[in-house]
Amino acid sequence: MAWYTETTTEKKKSKKELWVKCKNCHSHIYAEEWSKNLNVCPNCNYHGAISSYERINLLFDKDTFEELFSNISPKDSLKFNDLKGSYKDKYETNIKKTGINEAVVTGHGKMNAIPVVIAVMDFRFLGGSLGSGTGEKILQAANYAYDHNLPYIVISASGGARMQEGALSLMQMAKTCAGIARLNRKNIPYISVLTNPTTGGVSASYAMMGDINVSEPGALIGFAGRRVIEQTIGEKLPDDFQTSEYLREHGFVDSIVNRKDLKDYLSNVLSYYNR
Ligand SMILES: [Zn+2]
């Protein structure tokens, strides 16, 4: 009966690939329509996850993007193991699965003819966690922007610090912030784009340091989880707490921009700096 099992598996697989279920409104969207709509739900405007390279294709003028520091990858300095196996095995599997060496892709290119340096985080890689390799790439890209007098954009998507690297991961918060703060001395603009989710150590460091902080609609942005805060302060939090909309209302985010408008928004803002 092997043929039967195989056919059923095959059927299940193709059904899964044909449709995408929106995590917000739970409607089923034809996969082709979902990707044509830049992984945004056509019913409720939920902004789904998008890979670094998809994001780069969306933002940069054709054939202008050049990747930098792609040789930097995670280091297992603590020789960390948990019940599910070793950290080294885990990140090596992630490298194979995603085709990128770290949770961020860095490089430079042109956005509506404006040259920029960018770091685009990728949630698929260990939940976009901030490891020492991630921090190093974000710093190196900031240094490149500094040396070449180019504006710097970081697009965040992260669950926070990378637990498997312990204190080394937390040190990346200070390191990346120092590199970005240096841009100020040369009046080089730094724009932070916060996407779903931007939490933990990333939200507590470079993601909130933008001269302009922009977010995609409905993104989860915050430091500690909702339940932890509720238990600590003994109060119920509003429903929209830790969303981009809540943060804009309270002055932490300057604008909320739809994914399809992001390229024009960013190049427009940068054109003011260039005057
Ligand atoms: Zn939806």
* Rounded Cα–Cα distance for residues 207 and 52 (Å): 16
Contact indicator for 130, 160 with CB cutoff of 8 Å: yes
* 273 pLDDT tier (thresholds 50, 70, 90): confident
Query: Strands 255-256 and 212-215: what pairing?
Result: parallel
Question: 59 alpha carbon to ligand 1 midpoint, in Å?
Answer: 23
Question: 64 alpha carbon to ligand 1 midpoint, in Å?
Answer: 33
Residue 7 confidence (pLDDT): 41
* Rounded Cα–Cα distance for residues 191 and 147 (Å): 17
Mean pLDDT value across the chain? 93
Kindly state the percentage of the chain with pLDDT values over 90.
89
- Token pair 């603590």 is found at 78
- Token pair 């040259």 is found at 115
Q: What does the pLDDT look like over 27-78, one tens digit per residue?
A: 999 999 999 999 999 999 999 999 999 999 999 999 999 999 999 999 999 9
Kindly state the percentage of the chain with pLDDT values over 70.
93
Question: 11 alpha carbon to ligand 1 midpoint, in Å?
Answer: 25
Residue 17 confidence (pLDDT): 81
- Token pair 């996407």 is found at 195
Residue 14 confidence (pLDDT): 59
Question: 90 alpha carbon to ligand 1 midpoint, in Å?
Answer: 32
The string of DSSP codes covering 59-103 is HSPTT--EEE-TT-----TT--EETTEEHHHHHHHHHHHHS-SSS
Residue 255 confidence (pLDDT): 98
Give CA separation, 45 vs 55, 127, 213, in Å.
17, 22, 20
* Rounded Cα–Cα distance for residues 135 and 131 (Å): 6
Residue 1 confidence (pLDDT): 34
Of 226, 235, 220, nearest to 158 by C-alpha is 220
Q: What does the pLDDT look like over 105-128, one tens digit per residue?
A: 999 999 999 999 999 999 999 999
Question: 46 alpha carbon to ligand 1 midpoint, in Å?
Answer: 5
Domains of the chain: 1-46 (no CATH), 50-273 (3.90.226.10)
Question: 258 alpha carbon to ligand 1 midpoint, in Å?
Answer: 14
Q: What does the pLDDT look like over 180-212, one tens digit per residue?
A: 999 999 999 999 999 999 999 999 999 999 999
- HSE-up of 258 (CA within 13 Å, CB side)? 11
Residue 3 confidence (pLDDT): 39
Question: 60 alpha carbon to ligand 1 midpoint, in Å?
Answer: 27
Of 20, 42, 23, 40, nearest to 31 by C-alpha is 20
Give CA separation, 60 vs 11, 108, 118, 234, 261, in Å.
37, 9, 10, 46, 13
Residue 16 confidence (pLDDT): 64
Of 169, 160, 170, 172, nearest to 127 by C-alpha is 160
**Least confident piece of the model among 1-10, 81-90, 155-164:** 1-10
Rounded to 5 degrees, what are φ and ψ at 213?
A: -105, 120
Residue 12 confidence (pLDDT): 54
Residue 225 confidence (pLDDT): 86
Question: 259 alpha carbon to ligand 1 midpoint, in Å?
Answer: 15
Contact indicator for 118, 270 with CB cutoff of 8 Å: no
Residue 142 confidence (pLDDT): 98
Residue 143 confidence (pLDDT): 98
Rounded to 5 degrees, what are φ and ψ at 176?
A: -65, -40
Task: Indicate the residue type of 109.
Answer: G
Task: Indicate the residue type of 137.
Answer: K
Question: 21 alpha carbon to ligand 1 midpoint, in Å?
Answer: 8
